[in-house]
Structure 1
Amino acid sequence: MRHTLASITRRWPIVAVVTLVGIGLAALAVTFQTPQYTGTAEVLVQQTGADGPASPGARVVASYAATLEGTDLAEGAGVEAPVTAEVRDGSDVVALAVDGDTPEQARNRAEAVVDAFTRWIEDRAGESGLTATVVSSPASSDSPTSPDWALYLLVGAVLGLLVGAVTALARSGAPPGVGTADDAKSLTDAPVLGTVAQDPDMSEHPLLSQLESNHPRRESMRILRTNLQFLDVDSPQQVITITSALPGEGKSTTSSSLAIALAETGRRVLLIDGDLRKPRLDAMFGLERTVGLTTALVGRVSPESAVQPTRTAGLDVLTSGTLPPNPSELLQTEAMLNLVGHLSESYDLVLIDAPPLLAVTDGALLAALSDGALVVVRHGRTRLDELKGAAERLQAVGARVLGTVITMTPRRSTSRYGYGSGYGPEFFARETESGSRRRR
């Protein structure tokens, strides 16, 4: 809604011009219409009797008013325009109205209809005992009664305003997505630590260990690993939360890939599945989920017993465990803080795969008990306002944003992130392999 209002406000000249065009078209439509004047008259319908005139009854007067609106009566009077008639409240007076192109024509038509109506009642006086008396002589309005200028201009202004707003939104397009490193830096006040190019095999081979050593995704993780190590030499981060703004941005794949890349350097790494709503790490690594984080938090098993090894040497995974009905309350307990602190003593680095920040509060809670957070951003899909909202969520709980990782980046866009002049992931992979052979 904020983006919609901002887009309309930013393009107010378009809205104003289209609104004025709508008013102009409405005025033009009115100009080409023939003005109509209304002729009016009033007829009193009474019942004659021995005691004098009497009221024939509301239903009888209403039926005669309907007769007055019939086409036969108007055609018999030589009037082509439609006639309207209504009964005055609480009386036996029928008021009629008929339009004409000029005041004289309108008055003459009203007079002709009144004469035809009174004659029609007189012809049936013997049967019905009714009389018709003209109580208001036929007259005509001095000014046109239609078209209604105010109504036309109002409708034109409203339609013009709506069309102008839609045009402004169409010109603005969808909310802008994160497309450059400067976008991410300006919104999070943190560097871009790595990028991951689009990989059509990502869904079939999500783990880094399933790829060849010179695969571009492996090199992207090496770069991320290196940048993370040199981020703050004086204050190394031992517990890092990896999260994103919304689902579908590659958070879990980045968490698992970074954990494998770190473990390949000889470190002891623990990867915790902190998403207690939609966990994915157990399926990605082929591990058991029934015993995991929640099992250890409630004290059914020790944290060490809940940790499971993987095929990558030095990498262990703590799956989510049984999904609880109250994930947020469970993650902000003292038991969670103590569990992370206890496990961090046995590992060189602990990574927490946390839920998206804008979807639930779990991600911010996990980031608050870690040394910092990595925010995964999907190139072109994560909107600027979404990334800004995610950074604000982290700042609200006092969590430090270590940096961002931009995923699913088009290969042609890698130059925006420092991979220009042919120094793409493939180049780094080749140079890394050739450099290793030369050193050997």
Structure 2
Amino acid sequence: TNLYNAMEKFGPEHRAVKSIEGLIKAVKKQIEDRRKEVIKVQVSFLKQMRESELAAAQQQVLRLQSLFEEAKAEARDLEDTLGRLAALEEDAKTLQDHIKVIDARLEDLQVLSSPARAAGAGATEEAIVGPVNIGYRAAEPLPNNPSQPKWSVMVPLGIVLGLILGFGLAFLLELSDTSVKTPSDLARRIDLPLLGMIPHGDDLDEEIEDFRRAVLLAPQSPVAEAFRQVRTNLLFSGPAQRRRSILITSPAPGDGRTTVVMNLAASAALAGMKVLVVDANFRRPAIGDMFPQANQAGLSSVLVGQATWREVVSATDVSNLSVITSGPLPPNPAELLGSDAMRQFISEASAEYDQVLFDGSPLMVVSDAVILSTQVDGVVLVVRAGQNSVGIVQRSAERLIRIGAHVFGIVLEAVRSMGGGYLRKNYETFYEYQEKSLPE
């Protein structure tokens, strides 16, 4: 209205008209800029919402894929179990047929071994009484030996039956036990290198109070030597820059992950390497219990931005060895382990330490270790002899390889020695060599 009145009064070229037109243009520009800013904020907000929804959907897809693969693996295991059950039923039927044949032969032997009685055996005397012939048979002689049981037949037969049943029972037990016990059990089904075997504590001559510190408490024991062999095999598993960050995980809880982590770390530290141990198990952390004096802020505090990783590093009583505890247990461990903050921490820590070892959670229980395995240089899979089945170890290895993780190999933990077997002779040779090498 003001512009119209000014144009009527002064004309379109007047200074007042030009001033009003400039003011109108400035206001329009402010309105347009404000509109663009509002649209930009709304678009950014909607974009963040869609990205969050997409990330959640992708996470759900990963979980569903994992569940689908586990279901397929369980179906394969069920088929294998049904096949073994059918084979066992066939073996049981065969054994029953063998027992029937043996029973029939036993009856034949009993019949053949009974004393033959010839017709008319024994003296027969006749007396003629009138027109009637009366005959009578003398009493049978008493036997010198009992007729039953026939020990000459029963003893060998019992031995044969016992051997058949014993071998059959051993065969059935062997078929039903699918746990990994020796390296050959792994070599037949799993295409991964064996980094080393850790002996069971009950097979050692010395008693180790805390197996997690075996390298420090018993440096001359077969256990310490076994961990040094694992460390050496890791050193030759690739270039140094491709094996700085290593995740130690296993198929199930209680497989000895923390034992392997701490002994490998101590072995490397004693060899002069600068080592950092990180507790990345947000479900059941263990490093904080071993080092109660360590900073309890830990890894979770770093990942949520409450502290820097250098602030939560704690030195230990072992030279060159430092630790980071898990910190307060977060409600979303998988998301934290897959975050950009975790990738940045791994990159910076790997640049300052010769080796960064992560004590992870079990593979087949939660997805934390699976997510972390793609961010480190490589993975060491710990398998506990006599506890993990071949099937679960195979599924664990396939799960890591399927997502692109680099698996250095397997550490077979708690291996029992068999009387006269390779491990028992190896232990005996080790102790003999140690005794000869010690000064008198």
Short-chain TM bin: 0.5 to 0.7
Is 1:195 the counterpart of 2:197? The answer is: yes
User: What are structure 2's unaligned runs of at least 5 residues?
Assistant: 1-73, 94-168
Deviation at 1:18, TM superposition (A): 9.1
Preserved contact between residue 295 and residue 312 of structure 2 (Cα < 8 Å)? no
Asked if 1:9 is matched to 2:12, the reply is no
Q: Residues 373 and 403 of structure 1 are in contact (CA less than 8 Å); yes or no, is this contact kept in structure 2?
A: yes
Higher helix proportion (structure 1 or 2): 2
> Would the aligned equivalents of 1:260 and 1:312 in 2 still touch at CA under 8 Å?
yes
Quote the Cα distance in structure 2 between the aligned partners of 1:346 and 1:358.
32
Residue type of the alignment partner of 1:228: L
Quote the residue 2:399 is aligned against. Answer: 393
Q: Does 1:346 align with 2:352?
A: yes
Task: Choose between structure 1 and 2: higher strand proportion.
Answer: 1
Residue equivalent to 2:381: 375
2:218 is matched with which residue: 212, 218, 222? 212
Q: How far apart, CA to CA, are the structure 1 residues paired with 2:89 and 2:418?
A: 37
Secondary structure in 1 matching 2:318: coil
| Distance across 2 between alignment mates of 1:323 and 1:174 | 40
Deviations 1:12-46 (A, max 9, x none): 36658999xxxxxxxxxxxxxxxxxxxxxxxxxxx
**Shift of residue 355 of structure 1?**
0.5
Aligned length: 286
What are the Cα deviations for residues 327-366 of structure 1, in whole angstroms up to 9, with x where unaligned? 0011000110110111111100111111010011111111
| 1:360 and 2:366 matched | yes
**Aligned position for 2:414:** 408
Identity %: 31
> Structure 1 residues 212 and 254 mapped into 2: Cα distance closer, same or farther (>3 Å)?
same
If the length of structure 2 is used for normalisation, what is the TM-score? 0.59
- Secondary structure in 1 matching 2:335: helix
Residue correspondence of structure 1 range 78-117 to structure 2 within 5 A: none
What amino acid maps onto 1:304 in structure 2?
R
Aligned ranges for residues 284-299 of structure 1 at < 5 Å?
284-288=290-294, 290-299=296-305
Contact 1:290 1:321 in 2 (8 A): yes
Equivalent positions of 1:147-162 (< 5 A) are none
Contact 1:187-1:387 at 8 Å conserved across structures:
no
CA 242–211 in structure 1, closer or farther in 2 if over 3 Å, else same: same
Q: Is the 8 A contact 1:207 1:284 kept in 2?
A: no
Q: Does 1:300 align with 2:306?
A: yes
Please report how far the alpha carbon of residue 303 of structure 1 lies from its aligned counterpart in structure 2 after TM superposition.
0.7
What amino acid maps onto 1:177 in structure 2?
A: S
2:254 is the alignment partner of 1:180 = no
Distance 1:434 1:299, change over 3 A: farther
How far off is 1:288 after superposition?
Answer: 3.5
Unpaired segments of 5 or more residues in structure 1?
Answer: 20-166
Q: Which residue of 2 aligns with 1:333?
A: 339
Aligned residues of 1:262 and 1:269 also touching (Cα < 8 A): yes
Post-superposition offset of 1:217: 1.5
Q: Which amino acid aligns with 1:277?
A: R
The code of the aligned residue for 1:323 comes to: L
> For the structure 1 residues 202 and 434, does the alpha-carbon distance in structure 2 shift closer, same or farther, using more than 3 Å as the test?
closer
Shift in Å, 1:299: 1.6
Q: CA offset at residue 393 of structure 1? A: 1.6
Say if 1:206 and 1:284, in contact at 8 Å, map to a contact too. no
Is the aligned partner of 1:319 residue 2:321? no
CA distance in 2, matches of 1:306, 1:430: 45
Q: CA deviation at 1:300?
A: 1.4
- Contact (CA 8 Å) 2:208, 2:214: kept in 1 or not? no
Measure, in 2, the Cα distance between the counterparts of 1:433 and 1:301: 51
Secondary structure at 2:281 match in 1: coil
Relative to the length of structure 1, the TM-score reads 0.59
Moved more, 173-182 or 320-329: 173-182
Change (3 A) 1:435 1:325: same
Mapped partners of 1:402, 1:241: distance in 2: 10
Relative distance call for 1:226 and 1:299 in structure 2 (3 A) is same
Report the CA distance between 1:278 and its aligned residue. 0.4
Q: Distance in 2 between matches of 1:414 and 1:257?
A: 28
1:179 is paired with a residue whose SS is coil
Give the CA deviation at 1:209: 5.2
Question: Which residue identity does 2:321 align to in structure 1?
Answer: L
Check whether the contact 1:245–1:387 (CA below 8 A) recurs between aligned residues. Answer: yes
Given residue 369 of structure 2, which amino acid in structure 1 is its aligned partner? G
Q: Which amino acid aligns with 1:176?
A: T
Structure-1 residue corresponding to 2:285: 279
Tell me which moved more, 336-345 or 287-296.
Answer: 287-296
Query: What amino acid maps onto 2:225 in structure 1?
Result: E
1:423 partnered with 2:419: no
1:64-83, aligned counterparts within 5 Å? none
Paired residue for 2:166?
none
Aligned-partner SS, 2:327: coil
How far apart, CA to CA, are the structure 2 residues paired with 1:278 and 1:409?
A: 25
User: Does 2:344 correspond to 1:270?
Assistant: no
Secondary structure of 1:207's match? helix
1:243 aligns with 2:249: yes
Distance 1:194 1:343 in 2: 27
2: CA distance between counterparts of 1:350 and 1:4?
40
